[in-house]
Amino acid sequence: MSTKREDVLIGARTRLLLMSTANVAAVAALLCVAPTHAALPSTAPCLLPDWASQDATGEWRDGLGKAIPKPEINFAGKYFVAAHSCGAGCRYYSATDLSSGMDRDFLRMFASTDPPPVTKDGYPYITELYVRRDSAVIVATYTVSTPNGPLCRTKRFILEGLIVTPVSGTTRINCATP
């Protein structure tokens, strides 16, 4: 009786070495590490936010029942950043440290509530954030509603500890390009 190489009973660390890149990525998604060829994932599980759950169709939902992406590390090596809808033109962001399961409030400054925040000129705007799993840089894109149509601006920030600090000025961009 022949056995497949993957089915041979071996230590967990050796078994991870034998997995394909796709399998390592799948395992790493369940563990709190970024998948890489150079390092094996730790055995620390991700601690999902209390407010996140999967519905009967497998979609992930927040505490208000709104759709969110699957909770996984997507910012600064340990955080899950999610955008939450709270109505038309209303959005807020959460940041959960998946190594501890703790929610952090350092993104609250980017919330667009009802009534929406306004520019110095009195025009309402909504903020969209762009983050990367291996970087502490946050790119904020502001879409401003003006009588002449949307105007888009961007600004970069960095997370240091639990403090978000601007590292660039605000610049105009094409609204189709973040």
Which domain covers residue 23, as residue numbers? 1-43
Q: Letter for the amino acid at 88?
A: A
Let me know if residue 178 belongs to a domain. no
Distance in angstroms (rounded) separating the CA atoms of residues 88 and 59: 21
**Whether residue 87 sits in one domain with residue 120:** yes
| Euclidean distance between CA atoms 88 and 147, whole angstroms | 19
Domain co-membership, 98 together with 133: yes
Q: What is the pTM for the complete model shown?
A: 0.73
Task: Give the tens place of pLDDT for each residue, 62-71.
Answer: 999 999 999 9
The confidence score (pLDDT) of residue 178 equals: 55
